[in-house]
């Protein structure tokens, strides 16, 4: 058997008998099992231990050993016969000579450490120790299994990080005894160790002794003093005696040298390293070409922008927009404007085509602002907004020792708080000096960035600011939100839009003068369209090629750029292609790690690219370069094939990882999106790191309130997870649940519902109980106003989740039971089972003593309170749910509780209390877009109740035109519009629809409510005799035999009473009196948003009048008039007054004139609203 070679530090690789096997390892689970067995290869591993290694973080699945069998079988097959041994206990048959990187690194480190500790070692042995120490550090630098996440890996990473730091210290200690070249490398290693673990005294000692060996005694003393201050201020301790002895030795050496020691700066107040940049300096950073050559054909635009800047300097807020195609000179104009005066503050931010950082352009602006603070105390500019601003500028938290901004509970209000904080910070700057804000490449800006830009048009506009937006109007995708954002700004603020046009022939002649024959101007303009950047590329191409006429070169600008790049020295095109994949701006340090060329060769090629006008080199940051234009970069991005491009992306990602490597392999927050981008494009082999960094980036985006970007990052993680076969279904379910929740917060409700469904399927495949339960509950977020839901599918998922969770009290079990009970209740013939299940769930929720479980369970089981027998508990439960939601401080739960209680208050005739709850709901809806359909339902119900029918219809029409679920359409149209059409006598227009609804509902309604609605529609269609013939077949016993008085009971009674009155069905009316009398005092609620068929007293009064029980009718109708007046229910007030007038007339008009007054006031309302059913009935009964 050939000796296997395995790496676990950095990318997991497996070579066995000359074969590369890592790509064959079966998915994430296969890689985890293999890595666990490698790291524990000294002993056999039990199967239950492997189950825990795979699933302990997610919750151990039921039947875990059975779930282990498939990945184990696939791993055996991938590795080949005889390589994975055992059944009950498992081990890898690696042999004694296996080459495993971390074991090699440990052996080398042990030897090097021994050499470092023996001062007598010299010569070849010292050199061997130096090489081994460096090799050990290189191996451990890769980090343990980056991208693979599990608790046992995190525990191992602590140990591996200790080895990494020890190897860096060993490099430093041996390097101190070698020459200057080795000492420079050793110092870098020591400083890396100190940076990774600032309190580690052995790392500080290695650095101090190295500085001493270099003869830099003053710097060594400063390093000791930094440690002493740090330990004293942070931990209240002092350096160890060993360090104290080194310090004494340094002091003696320093005194003998006669130099003066410099005190170490406080670690809390680092000295400013660079002066604050000037406007001209920022202009040069934006476009270095402003220093050479004049600007052709742009004088008028520059003067116009200068005038706008003058107005801003005088105290106004101005908005200017530069639009035009790429390369036409928009950014150059902005740079010239910035450099044109020195009495302003310039902030510059730029979007990128592959934008991965939420709010990147604003982060750049604010970072630029912080750089320009000068001697100003940051607290004066940040004010009380520090914790909020640290969402965009994490460095503020470190610089000002700010508290964490905390978790986000209310997306929209938190987002508005962030936007307000940014505007206030900018406002404090502009109060000191006029400000020019340049927002470049807005056509690539993400949605979150544009929302923040739109907030400039708020109610408290800033002063002394010119905001200059730059975008390509020729490249706006159909999905771009930029046009809407610009429209918002233009409506609220003085805005100047300037179209930057191509150069005409005379201007082209001026531009090429001295470089080409001016007679070629017409041809050049024709070839380039007058685009200055294209002209520059074409002219340089002619100069480099020796051609004397533009017709000799291709007109396509990308091809021109490609030809120019091809003339670079050998290796230049390849290097620029790699740089293009890093980004518009890139660092030499990252580029170096993507190639095998040495530094001198790389710098030589970069210098040639700068000389060719393809790159700009930073004048302030060594090793920082930028492509002269996004068009150059985009032309080079596709220069590699897919395989090469994926490999380069991987190396870029690994270079960033290595640069940022700190304790336990964590990465800098600002680099997480970039790492996600590169590893997502690095191919299936990097699925672990792609998923890891995309997930971290999504969390970061959520913390920064950029849920749009969080959804995109999670989409990348999900794609990588699905591409990594066999798919880890547990991980996939986790990612899908995270995306569904993010989509929900963005009010992408239908998408959220579909994603929850996908998560449920993945969770089921995973067999992990907690995931199965979470996903099943997620599908029940689909209430009437959120997303489409299939009750059969929901019921199946909830039953599977209950089986997975198992018996016994638990929060999940209570929530699942309540949700399943709700499904069963509306499934037909199962209401008794549903009631029993709901009672079990709510009682369990009380026992587990978890407020969230209590809330979810009782909301799901709310049908218990809406049944007629639940009247006594209805309001107390509604009050309790509001109290629980208020205590939880979850605004979404509070909104749901307030909505529920508002409908209860309407049911009980408490209009003022209902209005108060709806008002609170409206405040929450401003920042919770996912509840706005419910809000529309509540307000539509109020409008219908008050007789504002035209307004109600308009709001309903606007709402149902949105992407809302069928249940919401039904609630808005079949409840509210039905009430309006019934009163208007127009149900005949909807006869077929009502008939269809009656047929559909027959499977679940205990009381034939929709059938009564159909009979009412038939009556209004002139088929009253047919209706009478049908209802006359029923006997009283047929009705009284229905045992269950369920949630539709009162709706049935109200509709049946309306039918009876319309067709004069006295026998049915007499039965209805007995059915309805116990519920006097309630209003008949027909929908979840509070739609109502009026008070029970109104219906009792009308059917008593039909029966000739006039005094009873008068009594009921007097009460109905009172409650309708209190409720502001004009349509039902008209009913009550006109019917009461009839009753009073029949009993002798005991109060002369009152009947006439009631009839007239009721008729006035009825005629105003076109209540044909009422007017016709009164005419017939009179």
Q: Tens digits of per-residue pLDDT, 733-762?
A: 999 999 999 888 887 888 888 999 999 999
Least confident of 614-623, 1125-1134, 1153-1162: 614-623
More confident residue, 205 or 3: 205
**Residues 811-833: tens digit of each pLDDT:** 999 999 999 998 888 776 677 88
**Residues 1031-1069: tens digit of each pLDDT:** 888 877 777 666 667 888 999 999 999 999 999 999 999
**Residues 675-724: tens digit of each pLDDT:** 999 999 988 888 888 998 999 999 888 887 787 888 989 999 999 999 88
The C-alpha atoms of residue 833 and residue 190 are separated, in whole angstroms, by 71
In the chain, the N- to C-terminal Cα span, in Å, equals: 107
Q: Which residues pair with 585 in a beta bridge?
A: 626
How distant is the alpha carbon of residue 964 from its chain centre? 21
The C-alpha atoms of residue 175 and residue 134 are separated, in whole angstroms, by 10
DSSP string, 449-518: HHHHHHGGGSSS--SSEEEEEEE-TTS--TT-SHHHHHHHHHHHS-EEEEE-PPP-HHHHHHHHBTTB-G
Least confident of 200-214, 383-397, 566-580, 877-891: 383-397
Environment class of 382 (CB within 10 Å of its CB; exposed 0-12, middle 13-18, buried 19+)? buried
The C-alpha atoms of residue 878 and residue 445 are separated, in whole angstroms, by 45
Least confident of 150-164, 252-266, 866-880: 252-266
**Residues 529-565: tens digit of each pLDDT:** 778 877 777 777 777 776 766 654 455 666 777 777 8
The C-alpha atoms of residue 692 and residue 686 are separated, in whole angstroms, by 10
Phi-psi region of 80 (alpha: psi -120 to 50; beta: other; left: phi over 0): left
The C-alpha atoms of residue 889 and residue 410 are separated, in whole angstroms, by 10
Stretch 839-854: mean pLDDT: 95
Q: What is the pLDDT of residue 1?
A: 47
The C-alpha atoms of residue 1053 and residue 1061 are separated, in whole angstroms, by 12
Three-state DSSP class for 549? coil
Q: What angle (nearest 5°) sits at the alpha carbon of residue 606, between those of residues 601 and 612? A: 130
pLDDT exceeds 50 at position 272: no
User: How confident is residue 664, by pLDDT bands cut at 50, 70 and 90?
Assistant: very low
**Residues 430-479: tens digit of each pLDDT:** 888 899 999 888 888 877 778 778 877 666 778 888 989 999 887 777 77
pLDDT exceeds 70 at position 411: no
User: How confident is residue 1112, by pLDDT bands cut at 50, 70 and 90?
Assistant: very high
Directed axis angle between helix 217-230 and helix 241-257, to 10°? Answer: 140
pLDDT exceeds 60 at position 260: no
Q: What is the pLDDT of residue 738?
A: 93
Q: What is the pLDDT of residue 150?
A: 87
Residue 119, C-beta contacts closer than 8 angstroms, at least 6 positions apart: 177
Dihedral sign computed on CA atoms, order 36, 41, 43, 45: positive
pLDDT exceeds 70 at position 1149: yes
**Residue 859 and residue 884 in contact, taking contact as beta carbons nearer than 8 Å:** no
Is the whole-model pTM more than 0.85? no
Percentage helix, strand, coil for the chain under 3-state DSSP, each rounded to 5: 65, 5, 25
Residue 829, C-beta contacts closer than 8 angstroms, at least 6 positions apart: 1003, 1004
**Nearest partner of 143 among 7, 30, 37, judged by Cα:** 7
Ordered structural domains, the chain, with CATH: 5-97 (1.10.10.10), 100-257 (1.25.40.10), 279-375+423-470 (3.40.50.300), 531-638 (1.10.10), 928-1181 (1.25.40.10)
Q: Which residues pair with 685 in a beta bridge?
A: none
The percentage of residues in the chain with a pLDDT greater than 90, rounded to a whole number, is 41
**Exposure on the CB side of residue 141, measured as CA atoms within 13 A:** 21
Q: What angle (nearest 5°) sits at the alpha carbon of residue 555, between those of residues 551 and 556? A: 165
Q: How many helices (H) and strands (E) in the chain? A: 58, 17
Whether omega before 726 lies within 30 degrees of 0, making that bond cis, reads: yes
**Residues 281-328: tens digit of each pLDDT:** 888 888 888 876 668 888 899 999 999 999 988 988 888 999 988 888
pLDDT exceeds 60 at position 269: no
**Residues 224-241: tens digit of each pLDDT:** 888 888 888 777 788 888
Helix (H) or strand (E) holding 586: strand 585-587
Three-state DSSP class for 409? coil
pLDDT exceeds 60 at position 526: yes
Stretch 8-28: mean pLDDT: 89
**Radius of gyration of the chain, Cα coordinates, nearest whole angstrom:** 38
Q: How many CB atoms lie within 10 A of CB 1066?
A: 12
Three-state DSSP class for 14? strand
Q: What angle (nearest 5°) sits at the alpha carbon of residue 1006, between those of residues 859 and 825? A: 30
Environment class of 1120 (CB within 10 Å of its CB; exposed 0-12, middle 13-18, buried 19+)? buried
Q: What is the pLDDT of residue 848?
A: 94
**Residues 955-977: tens digit of each pLDDT:** 999 998 887 877 788 778 888 89
Long-range contact pairs involving 253-261 (C-beta distance under 8 Å, separation at least 24): 253/212, 253/217, 254/217, 254/218, 254/221, 257/217, 259/217, 259/218, 261/218, 261/221, 261/222
**Residue 44 and residue 50 in contact, taking contact as beta carbons nearer than 8 Å:** no
**Nearest partner of 840 among 876, 868, 864, judged by Cα:** 864
Stretch 320-347: mean pLDDT: 88
Q: What is the pLDDT of residue 233?
A: 78
β-pairing, 624-627 vs 585-587, is antiparallel
Stretch 653-669: mean pLDDT: 70
Least confident of 584-588, 1003-1007, 1112-1116, 1118-1122: 1003-1007
């Amino acid at each position: 058997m050939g000796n296997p070679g395995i790496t676990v530090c950095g990318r997991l690789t497996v070579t066995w008998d000359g074969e590369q096997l890592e790509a064959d390892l079966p998915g994430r689970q296969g890689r985890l099992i293999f890595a666990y067995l490698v790291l524990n290869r000294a002993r056999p591993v039990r199967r239950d231990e492997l189950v825990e290694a795979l699933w302990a973080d997610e919750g151990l699945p039921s039947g875990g050993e059975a779930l282990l069998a498939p990945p184990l079988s696939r791993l055996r097959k991938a590795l080949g016969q005889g390589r994975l041994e055992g059944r009950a206990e498992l081990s890898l048959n690696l042999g004694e000579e296996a080459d495993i990187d971390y074991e090699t690194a440990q052996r080398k480190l042990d030897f090097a450490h021994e050499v470092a500790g023996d001062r007598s070692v010299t010569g070849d042995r010292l050199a061997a120790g130096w090489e081994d120490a460096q090799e050990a550090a290189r191996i451990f630098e890769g980090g343990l299994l980056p991208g693979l996440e599990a608790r046992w890996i995190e525990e191992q990473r602590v140990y591996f990080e200790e080895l990494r730091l020890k190897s860096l210290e060993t490099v430093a200690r041996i390097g101190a005894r070698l020459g200057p070249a080795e000492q420079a490398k050793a110092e870098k290693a020591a400083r890396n160790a100190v940076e990774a673990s600032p309190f580690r005294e052995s790392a500080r000692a290695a650095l101090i002794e190295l500085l001493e060996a270099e003869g830099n005694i003053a710097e060594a003393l400063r390093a000791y003093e930094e440690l002493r201050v740090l330990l004293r201020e942070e931990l209240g301790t002092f350096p160890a005696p060993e360090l104290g002895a080194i310090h004494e030795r340094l002091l003696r050496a320093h005194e003998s040298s006669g130099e003066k020691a410099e005190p170490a700066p406080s670690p809390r107040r680092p000295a400013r390293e660079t002066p604050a940049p000037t406007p001209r300096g920022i202009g040069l950073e934006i476009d270095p070409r402003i220093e050479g050559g004049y600007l052709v054909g742009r004088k008028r635009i520059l003067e116009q922008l200068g005038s706008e800047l003058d107005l801003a300097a005088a105290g106004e807020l101005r908005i200017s927009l530069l639009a035009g195609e790429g390369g036409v000179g928009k950014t150059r104009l902005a740079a010239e404007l910035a450099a044109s005066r020195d009495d302003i503050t310039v902030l510059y931010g730029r979007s990128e085509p592959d934008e991965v950082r939420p709010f990147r352009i604003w982060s750049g602006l604010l970072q630029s602002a912080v750089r320009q603070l000068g001697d100003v105390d940051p607290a004066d500019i940040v004010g009380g907004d520090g914790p909020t601003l640290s969402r965009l500028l994490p460095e503020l938290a470190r610089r000002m020792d700010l508290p964490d901004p905390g978790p986000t509970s209310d997306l929209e209000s938190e987002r508005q708080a962030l936007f307000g904080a940014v505007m206030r910070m900018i406002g404090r700057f502009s109060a000191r000096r006029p400000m020019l804000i340049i927002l470049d490449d807005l056509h690539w800006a993400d949605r979150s960035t544009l929302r923040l830009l739109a907030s400039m048009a708020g109610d408290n506009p800033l002063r002394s600011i010119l905001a200059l937006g730059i975008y390509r109007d020729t490249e706006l995708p159909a999905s771009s939100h930029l046009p809407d954002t610009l429209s918002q700004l233009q409506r609220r603020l003085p805005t100047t839009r300037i179209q930057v046009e191509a150069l005409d022939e005379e201007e082209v002649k001026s531009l090429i003068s001295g470089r080409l024959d001016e007679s070629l101007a017409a041809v050049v303009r024709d070839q380039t369209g007058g685009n200055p950047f294209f002209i520059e590329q074409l002219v340089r191409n002619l100069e480099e090629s020796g051609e004397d006429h533009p017709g000799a070169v291709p007109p396509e600008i990308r091809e021109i750029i490609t030809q120019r790049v091809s003339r670079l020295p050998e290796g230049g095109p390849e290097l620029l292609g790699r740089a293009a994949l890093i980004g518009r701006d890139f660092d030499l340090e990252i580029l170096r790690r993507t190639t095998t060329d040495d530094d001198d060769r790389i710098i030589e090629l970069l210098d040639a690219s700068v000389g060719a006008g393809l790159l700009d080199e930073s004048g302030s940051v060594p090793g920082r370069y930028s492509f002269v234009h996004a068009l150059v970069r985009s032309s080079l991005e596709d220069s590699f094939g897919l395989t090469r491009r994926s490999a380069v992306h991987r190396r870029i990602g690994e270079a960033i990882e290595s640069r940022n490597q700190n304790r336990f392999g964590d990465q800098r927050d600002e680099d997480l999106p970039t790492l996600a981008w590169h590893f997502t494009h690095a191919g299936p082999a990097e699925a672990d790191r792609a998923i890891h960094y995309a997930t971290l980036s999504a969390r970061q985006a959520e913390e920064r309130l950029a849920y749009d970007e969080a959804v995109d990052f999670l989409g990348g993680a999900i794609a990588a997870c699905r591409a990594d076969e066999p798919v880890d279904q547990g991980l996939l379910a986790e990612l899908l649940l995270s995306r569904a929740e993010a989509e929900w917060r963005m009010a992408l409700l239908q998408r959220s519902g579909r994603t929850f469904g996908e998560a449920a399927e993945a969770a089921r495949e995973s067999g992990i109980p907690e995931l199965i339960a979470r996903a099943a509950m997620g599908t029940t977020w689909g209430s009437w106003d959120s997303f489409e839901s299939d009750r059969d599918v929901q019921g199946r998922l909830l039953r599977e989740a209950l089986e997975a969770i198992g018996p016994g009290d638990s929060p999940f079990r209570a929530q699942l039971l309540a949700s399943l009970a709700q499904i069963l209740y509306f499934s037909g013939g199962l209401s008794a089972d549903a009631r029993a299940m709901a009672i079990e769930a709510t009682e369990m929720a009380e026992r587990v003593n978890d407020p969230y479980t209590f809330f979810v369970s009782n909301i799901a089981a709310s049908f218990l309170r809406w049944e007629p027998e639940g009247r006594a508990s209805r309001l107390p439960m509604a009050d309790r749910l509001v109290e629980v939601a208020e205590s939880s401080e979850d605004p979404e739960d509070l909104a749901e509780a307030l909505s529920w209680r508002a409908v209860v208050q309407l049911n009980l005739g408490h209009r003022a209390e209902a209005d108060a709850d709806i008002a609170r709901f409206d405040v929450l809806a401003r920042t919770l877009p996912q509840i706005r359909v419910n809000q529309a339902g509540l307000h539509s119900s109020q409008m219908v109740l008050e007789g504002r029918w035209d307004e109600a219809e308009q709001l309903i029409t606007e709402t149902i035109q949105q992407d809302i679920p069928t249940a919401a359409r039904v609630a808005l149209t079949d409840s509210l519009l039905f009430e309006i059409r019934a009163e208007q006598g127009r149900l005949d227009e909807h006869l077929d629809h009502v008939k269809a609804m009656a047929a559909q509902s027959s499977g679940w309604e205990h009381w034939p409510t929709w059938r009564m609605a159909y009979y009412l529609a038939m009556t209004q269609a002139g088929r009253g005799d047919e209706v009478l013939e049908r209802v006359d077949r029923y006997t009283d016993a047929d009705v009284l035999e229905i045992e269950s008085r369920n949630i539709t009971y009162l709706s049935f009674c109200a509709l049946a009473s309306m039918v009876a009155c319309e067709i004069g069905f006295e026998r049915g009316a007499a039965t209805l009196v007995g059915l309805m009398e116990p519920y006097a005092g309630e209003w008949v609620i027909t929908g979840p948003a509070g739609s109502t068929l009026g008070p029970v007293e109104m219906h009792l009064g009308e059917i008593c009048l039909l029966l000739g029980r006039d005094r009873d009718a008068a009594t009921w109708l007097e009460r109905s008039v009172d409650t309708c007046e209190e409720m502001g229910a004009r349509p039902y007030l008209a009913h009550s007054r006109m019917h009461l007038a009839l009753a009073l007339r029949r009993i002798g008009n005991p109060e002369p004139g009152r009947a006439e007054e009631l009839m007239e006031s009721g008729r006035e309302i009825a005629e105003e609203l076109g209540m044909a059913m009422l007017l016709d009935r009164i005419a017939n009964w009179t």
